């Protein structure tokens, strides 16, 4: 076993914008969390959880999130933000994120994670992760869900 992390089945490319830099002349920390959110929602769309939430009321809710900043990013640059799931539980899972910089030759500029909990939006309470969603997560992580990541 190589010890390498599994690939990210969902990845989004973002150009950096001048206005995303802060007074310290690097991309503001809050921007990374928007990128994580965009990758997370793209993942949910791929597994059909957004549509299921609209139909059944069961959907994802973010419990907590964090980031580790490894290298400052500055304009101009383009980043690829990947998302994958680890630690799948009956009512929750951990989503991992990675931000790679084109300008830094593919180096990891930041990594992070979020704890996602299944939530009943009609009953306003935690819920079980739907079997269909858990199965789609496993399929996507194994590369078996159509429309696989980049």
Tell me: pLDDT of 136 over 50: yes
Cα torsion through 46, 100, 114, 64, rounded to 10: -130
| DSSP-derived 3-state class of residue 39 | helix
CA distance to 39, 50, 57, per residue, from 119 (Å): 19, 12, 8
Q: Going from the N-terminus, what domains does the chain have, and what CATH number goes with each?
A: 10-141 (3.10.129.10)
Q: What is the pTM of this model?
A: 0.92
How far is it, in rounded angstroms, from Cα 149 to Cα 20?
Answer: 26
9-61 pLDDT, tens digit per residue, is 999 999 999 999 999 999 999 999 999 999 999 999 999 999 999 999 999 99
145-150 mean pLDDT: 52
- pLDDT 10s digits, 47-94: 999 999 999 999 999 999 999 999 999 999 999 999 999 999 999 999
């Amino acid at each position: 076993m190589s010890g390498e992390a599994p690939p990210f089945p969902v990845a989004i490319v973002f150009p950096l914008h001048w206005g995303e830099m802060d007074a310290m002349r690097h991309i503001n920390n809050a921007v990374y969390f928007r990128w994580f959110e965009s990758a997370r929602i793209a993942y949910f769309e791929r597994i059909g959880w957004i549509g299921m939430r609209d139909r059944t009321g069961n959907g994802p809710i973010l419990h907590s999130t964090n980031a580790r900043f490894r290298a400052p990013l500055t304009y101009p640059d383009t980043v690829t933000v990947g998302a994958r799931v680890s630690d799948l539980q009956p009512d929750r899972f951990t989503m991992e994120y990675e931000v790679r910089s084109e300008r830094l030759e593919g180096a990891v500029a930041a990594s992070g994670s979020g704890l996602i909990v299944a939530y009943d939006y009609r009953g306003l309470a935690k819920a079980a992760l739907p079997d269909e969603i858990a199965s789609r997560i496993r399929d996507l992580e194994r590369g078996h869900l159509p429309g696989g990541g980049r």
